[in-house]
Structure 1
């Protein structure tokens, strides 16, 4: 073999004794160099396992086409955050009083203060009661002033909002007194939409493709987002929020699937991190716009207008070639790859393009039931569902706790969003240095620490509590980013979106449970549950395999346990018998020979890489 002789000649030309003395002087004879070499060998081996990664390398690892694809995720991410959090800004706090305009019939010249003083009872603290009024009487104004009114009842003719500076859902649909709980109903309805949408869009994305699922979710954002500005009842508002939440979760699932399958290596992680950073930017943009607008309907009109350009994605968004290949659409997959290569000004070698063949087994029949049949996938879904439930429950609990402390809605979104951008950018370093598994563990450990601090902080330290709450949201933002990347890499192409949809179910459940518990239990219990859940999620995260520098697997018969065999490969595992295998490639043979030669040069025990 020509490659074999080249490797031998290159190794003979090296000064073995010089290398040996250098490593001995370092105190760790040649173990470091072998670890570096084995890392390269493992990386090369994974590329052999993932032939599609070789195709993407030939297309251009991160060329113009891939950069454009990543940029296309920015605007929808901004708009998703805009419509998702807009529901918090339409419930601006208002101080209502019963509408007692009946007294103006007998005293048309009464001032607003005099009207309230005559018709609204006061509480023990001397303030006017917001949900009670004096019943009207057929007296003249002098008699009312002289004798006063005594009989009270609930507000009969609606409410007035004398101190209102903005038009909100509260003063438009009178969501006060007995109807005040409808504000939480709106949040629960939004989470119910995420719950239903995760199932629907998970199935649509895997059955119909990433491209139509993204277009459908963007269309939903435009229709339901813009249409919310024209609702004429609170129940219709709930219906449109339900549609918006389905669109938001649908875009999240389909866009992450598309980015995961088009990008390789560190670029995949960077793309998802940037997408989440722009999600936080969308929350900050929303805060600025909501602060400046006087009417809640204008907020949705502006959002709908900003989302209209997303219609152009019909002509510029690509489909995933991995998904096309697994669905048997080989011709379309090749066309998509060739188009991407032409944009990157690359040429795909014909031998690589010929490797795009129909899958050995029919995978179009993959379904949710396969998660129960495959033990590894079942473990992934259960662990990630636990993690996502914990993250969602903890995030909403911390957010609601901050609201209880009287922090303004604008502060609750601007400051955490700014910190979330930095938290997600920190994930770039974490993911490169310690991988997906340990990054998830580190961010969960940070969450545990902040929750424990909250549990033992005295109630009087308001500023310190707000700081710890903000740091908790900082850690959770990093956890979410690592979680999405890690989950997408653990799932097969044929069920990637369905799996993401299943773990989103846990997210909606955690959010709904948080709203329920924090309103009906003592203040320490929700935070205590955050600590317990975070510890459980932290422990379970170690059950999952590492995916850094590992190939994506496309079908159910491509077992993820094969990754561990590559990961644990050492020089002792290589022998001359390996070279006799018929299916070994020339490059693999080179690696075996190289290991054997190094063992001859360095005849000392070799420590296994961590």
Structure 2
């Protein structure tokens, strides 16, 4: 862009312009229902899914546990682990033999059965165990990409409800199957459904929240995951049979069913789509619960129309046409310099955070002498990670995000100081706390991505997260063969790079979420933010758009 073509930001002094009724969705939300007990109650119920998801993503540490085992080739079929002498080989028929074992007996003192004992996932078959966790994440990759597209195209609610039913069906099916291939398929479908549910639910939570309370509502929504992790550890401690444990995990999934009656559509998305009557009904419901008096229907519809017209004008000023196709919405993520920077940085960070989160969790259970206690404590330390919103409001999203990532990396590197099980557990918990806090800042991406691409942007980040989660079991299971602390070094390096990538992201605290790509690019050029000021943005084609920003 030449000097004459550069965009200029100038305050508009025209009183009529200053008197606009509404220019962003936050204005409409605040005037109609604000943020109150409606959002709190609704988001609290929708967050039940985070209580149940650990039974899928974290339970593999127990249903996939590997007890001590010995090779039983050539021995009586009634031979037990205890009946074989110490020094009996594990993976080969004799210690000096290169002939692989084909039958094993397992120690049942801690686990009566796991997927490892059922399908002999040891020695040369060990990668099949890692695949069981990875396939959940691989299914999530498809769910993230497809779910993000579908939520932007058809809405949050129509995507959430069908995949919710599939999750319930998969949870019961996982307890009943008795062959490895069927179990793998179920895990893959479950991962797809989980990712689609997250894409819909979290975008909805973000879009129901006003600027002031967005950080609190979008971080506390993850709180049930901590308790779910502790419940997984407790249930696994009490139930040591794989199929019975998974049946116990399946029953709470029935709590999803009331979503058919309670879950609304996002009024922000309805407004962008021009479905004003439906958005009005949702806002009216919020006003009743929050005990707010709404303006007249005509006034609300006029505000919605003004906001949508402003959005259309901004988008057309930037790119000349509406570009409603899925391909064009995807292209928007990398079409402009700022969108390209934000998309690439947040994608890598998503990969690093998820990979480290699950990797640290799996590694802690392997390094600890008491895996149930380690997992329970890892759930406990996640609780304060859900109450970081005062820090986000006080110090800003970007600074906190970088700090959490850097702390995780340092905790992973410090395990090399001394070989001590207690020190390793403490540093593992510190790393888990800080990476959980970063994970819980999932809303950060929502806040700097525009409404029309928000679901897709979250889907892309979720895809990267699932890839990181899919790789982490292989790092823990296979890289640990080089050195017991090698996984910690890998996760520490990956997160350290993520903390540097976070320097490329913007600050979003106290600012309205962008509605269009034009908003993102305009915000990047503002030199200062003055509360209530209206700015006129002059473009090279002599068209203008008006936008309001708050500090």
**What are the residue-to-residue correspondences of 1:343-382 with 2, within 5 Å?**
343-350=289-296, 351-357=299-305, 358-359=308-309, 360=312, 362=322, 364-365=324-325, 366-382=328-344
Maintained 8 Å contact 1:96/1:162: no
Q: Which residue of 2 aligns with 1:187?
A: 133
CA distance in 2, matches of 1:233, 1:263: 45
CA distance in 2, matches of 1:570, 1:555: 20
Superposition deviation, residue 516 in structure 1: 3.9
CA distance in 1, matches of 2:278, 2:367: 56
- The correspondence for 1:461, drawn from 400, 407, 420, is 420
**What are the residue-to-residue correspondences of 1:196-207 with 2, within 5 Å?**
196-207=142-153
Query: Does 1:429 find its partner at 2:390?
Result: yes
Q: Decide whether aligned partners of structure 1 residues 474 and 133 sit closer, same or farther in structure 2, where only a CA change above 3 A counts.
A: same
Partner deviation per Cα, 1:430-483 (whole Å, 9 max, x = no partner): 11211111111221232233233234x13x22221221121011110111112x
Moved more, 173-182 or 276-285: 173-182
CA distance in 1, matches of 2:59, 2:81: 34
Q: Which residue of 1 aligns with 2:7?
A: none
Q: Which residue of 1 aligns with 2:251?
A: 305
Q: Which residue of 1 aligns with 2:157?
A: 211
Provide structure 1 residue ranges, at least 5 long, that are not aligned to the other structure.
Answer: 1-44, 105-109, 135-150, 575-582, 592-608
Provide structure 2 residue ranges, at least 5 long, that are not aligned to the other structure.
Answer: 1-17, 317-321, 536-544
Q: Which residue of 1 aligns with 2:270?
A: 324
Query: Does 1:226 find its partner at 2:172?
Result: yes
Aligned CA-pair RMSD: 3.5
Q: Which residue of 1 aligns with 2:10?
A: none
- The correspondence for 1:385, drawn from 326, 333, 347, is 347
Q: Decide whether aligned partners of structure 1 residues 543 and 206 sit closer, same or farther in structure 2, where only a CA change above 3 A counts.
A: same
Bigger-Rg structure (1/2): 1
**What are the residue-to-residue correspondences of 1:394-543 with 2, within 5 Å?**
394-425=356-387, 427-455=388-416, 457-458=417-418, 460-482=419-441, 484-518=442-476, 519-520=478-479, 521-522=482-483, 526-543=487-504
CA distance in 2, matches of 1:235, 1:572: 61
**What are the residue-to-residue correspondences of 1:255-270 with 2, within 5 Å?**
255-270=201-216
Q: 1:395 is paired with a residue of what secondary structure?
A: helix
Q: Decide whether aligned partners of structure 1 residues 407 and 271 sit closer, same or farther in structure 2, where only a CA change above 3 A counts.
A: farther
Superposition deviation, residue 265 in structure 1: 2.1
Maintained 8 Å contact 2:22/2:28: no
Partner deviation per Cα, 1:288-322 (whole Å, 9 max, x = no partner): 11211232112222222211131221121100011
Normalising by structure 1, what TM-score? 0.74
Maintained 8 Å contact 2:215/2:393: no
Superposition deviation, residue 334 in structure 1: 1.8
Normalising by structure 2, what TM-score? 0.82
Maintained 8 Å contact 1:326/1:364: no
Work out the number of aligned pairs and report it: 505
CA distance in 2, matches of 1:334, 1:290: 47
Whose helix proportion is higher, 1 or 2? 1
Q: 2:415 is paired with a residue of what secondary structure?
A: helix
Q: Decide whether aligned partners of structure 1 residues 548 and 363 sit closer, same or farther in structure 2, where only a CA change above 3 A counts.
A: farther
Maintained 8 Å contact 2:361/2:375: no
Partner deviation per Cα, 1:388-431 (whole Å, 9 max, x = no partner): 22222333443344344244331232101101111221x12211
Partner deviation per Cα, 1:204-225 (whole Å, 9 max, x = no partner): 1111111122213322321111
Maintained 8 Å contact 2:22/2:303: no
CA distance in 1, matches of 2:363, 2:81: 35
**What are the residue-to-residue correspondences of 1:17-416 with 2, within 5 Å?**
50-97=23-70, 103=76, 116=83, 126-131=86-91, 159=105, 163=109, 165-350=111-296, 351-357=299-305, 358-359=308-309, 360=312, 362=322, 364-365=324-325, 366-416=328-378
Superposition deviation, residue 64 in structure 1: 3.3
CA distance in 1, matches of 2:533, 2:122: 73
CA distance in 2, matches of 1:197, 1:185: 18
